Every structure is written in structure tokens, then in C-alpha cells.
Amino acid sequence: MSKTLLYGATKIDETNSAYAPVESLAAFQWRNRVFVLFADKDNARAGRQENQLLSERAELDERDIVVLKVSAGKVGALFGAADGLDGDAIRHDLEGPEAGEFAAFLIGKDGTVKLKVSEPITNGELFAIIDSMPMRAAETLKPDK
């Protein structure tokens, strides 16, 4: 089993037997990639990550990314639409950090965890990871993308 360490981020090995879709985010499967932030509103790392991501909305939209923030058991959509999600279920399914701690996860369109970081990731790094995925490569070949 191999895992790639990338600037403090762990790329999940898809051959791992634990590789399974995240049930609490099933509504997004095959439609969106989901970037989930865990942190309370006063967490500086979360604020930095939010501001950075939201500065490139066109890039998020082009890659079908929904950005969610889980804080105090609640889920807020920072980019894209999300209703009726349970923050505690998402935290449990992703084995997220304790309340108030920062972590971020990238969930692929197949519903599985592709990336987990404990420090903010740059948009360039995030988009490079997404663009290296086979499904994203296929999307770029479609004339409407």
C-alpha cells in the first residue's frame, strides 16, 4: 500500500480496502467534487483556506467543486449548493478532527476521499491534484467543459 506525501497532504491509495464512498456526502456522488473544511469560524487557518479558495470561483466551477465548512455540527456551503447535510455525520465518516481543529478533505466525484490536509493547501496544488485525476482528464476532452 503506497501513500504519497505532498506538502503535508496524504493522497489516499485507491487500492486500500477502506476505499469506499463517503455515505454522508452521497448526494454529490458523480456530480461534484467536494472540498470539506473542518474548523470553527475564528480558526485562522480555515479563514485563510476559505479566502484563498473563494478567490478563484471560476476555477472551482470549472472543476465542479462544492466547498463545505463543518463547524459545531453544522454544515455551511461556501461555494455551490448543499442542503440537509449533517455535520456530525460528515465528521464521523471522514474521521475528521476534534471540533475547532482545522482539516480539509477532497472528495472525488466517485465519492471517495482523495486528499486530507491538516494545513491549508494552495489553489495551485489543489487544482493540480484534481487535474491529474483520470475523470478530470476525461472532462477536459468534452467540448462543453
Instruction: Please tell me the predicted confidence (pLDDT) of residue 7.
Output: 36
Q: List, as one string, the DSSP characters of 58-119.
A: HHHHHTTEEEEEEETTEEEEEES---S--HHHHHHHHTPPPTT--EEEEE-TTSSEEEEESS
Tell me the β-bridge partners of 116: 10, 105
In eight-state DSSP terms, residue 49 is H
Question: Which pLDDT value is given to residue 119?
Answer: 94
Residue 59's pLDDT is 97
| Domains recognised in the chain with CATH numbers | 30-130 (3.40.30.10)
Q: How confident is the model at residue 13 (pLDDT cuts 50, 70, 90)?
A: low
Mean pLDDT, the chain, integer = 86
Task: Dump pLDDT digits (tens) for 47-95.
Answer: 999 999 999 999 999 999 999 999 988 999 999 998 899 999 999 999 9
Q: Give pLDDT, residue 8.
A: 42
% of the chain beyond a pLDDT of 90 = 66
